Amino acid sequence: MTTASSLDVRVVDHPATRAWLTILRDKRTDNPGFRGALARLSSMLVYEALRDAPVDEFDVQTPVAVAPGARIQSPPLFVPVLRAGLGMLDAALDVVPDARIGFIGVARDEETALPVEYLASLPDDLSGQPVYVLDPMLATGGSLVHTLDLLAARGADDLTAVCVVGAPQGIAALEASPHRVRVVIGAVDQGLDDHSFIVPGLGDAGDRQFGPR
């Protein structure tokens, strides 16, 4: 894991994450295979994202003796960005079963690549609540900045984005935004093509899970 730039960007670079990311990148991977690989990789990314989460420590009685135990102090609110982020949610809940869940639906306009919101289902007050946004793709960054705007408007001040693959343009958009956010990501690729797709990327993560819109 490396940390780069004034923004807290943690690229999770591990043999297991690289192997699952390779399956996601491979255009021969079919929809079920893509969903499975996304789930496996997402649990690893969420696991890494929680590395510094504060814990409550308490003792637990094993069948043999008393042992020190711990639980996550403030279970996060997971916010998958529909559609593609849905494929990360169950994996995140496997890691933190008592997390809360909110939903945001944003689709990029195919002509302008600008985010169009169609759903926001979130608790009203998010102050003090760790929020983990789940979205496999960080391309122009428009969808994530819009999502962070919605969360910040509800008082969210402890923001983490968990992404599979991103582009430098998306990272730059976050840096230019007013939001303080940690980014935990599987890889930052070369850039964007003329259609604002990440290069080399993995294609359209929504379509590759669920078929074309």
Closer to ligand PRP by Cβ: residue 97 or 212 = 212
**Which stretches within 26-136 are classed as H helix?**
31-49, 86-95
Residues making contact with ligand PRP (CB under 6 A): 81-84, 106-108, 113, 115, 135-144, 170, 196, 204-206
Phi, psi of 139, rounded to the nearest 5 degrees: -95, -90
Which of 10, 17, 204, 208 is catalytic? The answer is 204
Nearer to ligand PRP, 76 or 115 (CB): 115
- Whether 18 is catalytic is no
Q: Is 53 exposed, middle or buried (0-12, 13-18, 19+ CB in 10 A)?
A: middle
CB of 205 to ligand PRP, least distance (A): 5
Q: Which one of the listed residues 108, 140, 147, 158 is annotated catalytic?
A: 108
**Coil, strand, or helix at residue 25?**
helix
Q: Which residues pair with 191 in a beta bridge?
A: 199
Per the annotation, the verdict on 112 as an active-site residue is yes
* Residue 2 is among the residues annotated as catalytic for this protein: no
Helix (H, G, I), strand (E, B) or coil at 149: helix
CB of 44 to ligand PRP, least distance (A): 19
At position 112, the amino acid (one-letter code) is T
Phi, psi of 147 (to 5 degrees): -60, -45
Active site residue 108: yes
CB of 124 to ligand PRP, least distance (A): 23
| Residues belonging to the active site | 108, 112, 204, 207
